[in-house]
Amino acid sequence: MKINNVNLSKVTTYRFGGLCKNFIILENPDDILEIPETINSANTFVLGRGSNIAFSDNEYTGYILKSEFQYINKTNNLNILEVGSGTYLPELSRYLKENELGGGEFLLGIPGTLGGALKMNAGSYGYEIATNVLEIKCYDLDEKKIIILDKDSINYSYRNSNNLDNKIIISSILKFENCDPKIISKKMSDFNMRRKKSQPPGIYNAGSVFKNSDNYFAGELIENAGLKGFSIDNVSVSTKHANFFIAKKGAKASSLFSLVQHVKEKVYDKYEVNLEEEIQFIGEFT
Ligand SMILES: Cc1cc2nc3c(=O)[nH]c(=O)nc-3n(C[C@H](O)[C@H](O)[C@H](O)COP(=O)(O)OP(=O)(O)OC[C@H]3O[C@@H](n4cnc5c(N)ncnc54)[C@H](O)[C@@H]3O)c2cc1C
């Protein structure tokens, strides 16, 4: 197993991040057996495609393990698949369409891996990945063993999972419904259109910055607080959708962090609402 020097700005959609001298790519599940003994959940971050992450501009001194387990295996039941955690969600979505399986149309517009989606309980347009999960195979970084978690033990809720923090997700058993490919295509293009209309393009951002709640849409609160277009040092609140914060090329993660703090303060001052981040800041931020 090779430990690499990687500039983290190359491995996330925001393009933020300093150097990591302990960057390990896991290409297939057998690589897990070679993970150095010194690695544990306290000194390691598990990375997918970095589409929900802002790494600090400083050097990242821990280990980063990146899952590239990319496979989709059929099982005896045509509705049930075993999918590797490194599988790109739009590819999974297209595979499902080709195999006349419905329920994965929403994954087409989410530029992450299955591992990231399972951790974040990714979703859109009323769908979320938790609905499809039967079980998840993981490597426990502290117990140093492979375990299978059933869906109930993950206790999924909106953009949240439990029991996955100290683990590398290897794969998941997912269930989908038979569906006419014409209906699947229609849903995919509807979702695509809605996304294009309401959201900025998928570069130099990490999707929604804050979680919504039953009582509010974060984007609406930010817009009504007069913050659409507001910027700090080359990172701005999108003028298209106020819950997307867009960086310019060369912008710093510290500017995004400052913008997030500023927006939280202003929204709290106006609505007494504590916005909760959906994106994750990893490394040192002050
Ligand atoms: C343009 C754009 C649109 C987006 N739209 C949506 C949307 O509609 N809905 C939505 O929910 N999200 C959306 N996102 C956010 C993001 O794509 C999702 O959260 C995605 O599931 C993250 O996957 P990832 O592989 O990039 O994970 P990363 O960003 O790399 O990591 C996210 C979390 O998952 C963990 N993780 C990743 N892989 C593994 C693994 N193998 N084992 C254990 N833990 C792992 C990480 O440790 C981290 O905690 C959007 C992002 C962008 C840039």
pLDDT tens-digit profile, the chain (286 residues): 788 999 999 999 999 999 999 999 999 999 999 999 999 999 999 999 999 999 999 999 999 999 999 999 999 999 999 999 999 999 999 999 999 999 999 999 999 999 999 999 999 999 999 999 999 999 999 999 999 999 999 999 999 999 999 999 999 999 999 999 999 999 999 999 999 999 998 789 999 999 999 999 999 999 999 999 999 999 999 999 999 999 999 999 999 999 999 999 999 999 999 999 999 999 999 8
Q: Ligand 1 centre and the CA of 270: distance in Å?
A: 30
Residues spanned by CATH 3.90.78.10 within the chain?
Answer: 201-282
Output the DSSP codes for 235-256.
Answer: EEE-SS-TT-EEEPTT--HHHH
Residues annotated catalytic, as ranges = 159, 208, 278
Beta strands per DSSP E along 99-247: 101-102, 123-124, 127-128, 133-140, 145-150, 167-175, 177-178, 231-232, 235-237, 245-247
Per-residue confidence (pLDDT) for residue 203, from 0 to 100: 81
Residues spanned by CATH 3.30.43.10 within the chain?
Answer: 4-67
Per-residue confidence (pLDDT) for residue 279, from 0 to 100: 98
pTM: 0.97
Residues in the chain, overall count: 286
Per-residue confidence (pLDDT) for residue 286, from 0 to 100: 86
The reply to whether ligand 1 has any atom less than 6 angstroms from the CB of 13 is yes
Q: Ligand 1 centre and the CA of 52: distance in Å?
A: 5
Q: Each residue of 11-34: b (16+ CB within 10 Å) or e?
A: bbbbbbbbebebbbbbeebebbee
- 172 has which bridge partners? 83, 136
Per-residue confidence (pLDDT) for residue 2, from 0 to 100: 82
Per-residue confidence (pLDDT) for residue 120, from 0 to 100: 98
Residues spanned by CATH 3.30.465.10 within the chain?
Answer: 72-197
CATH of region 4-67 = 3.30.43.10
The reply to whether ligand 1 has any atom less than 6 angstroms from the CB of 117 is yes
Closest-CA residue, ligand 1 atom 53, reads 206
CATH of region 72-197 = 3.30.465.10
Q: Which CATH number fits domain 201-282: 3.20.20.140, 2.60.34.10, 3.90.78.10, 3.30.470.20?
A: 3.90.78.10
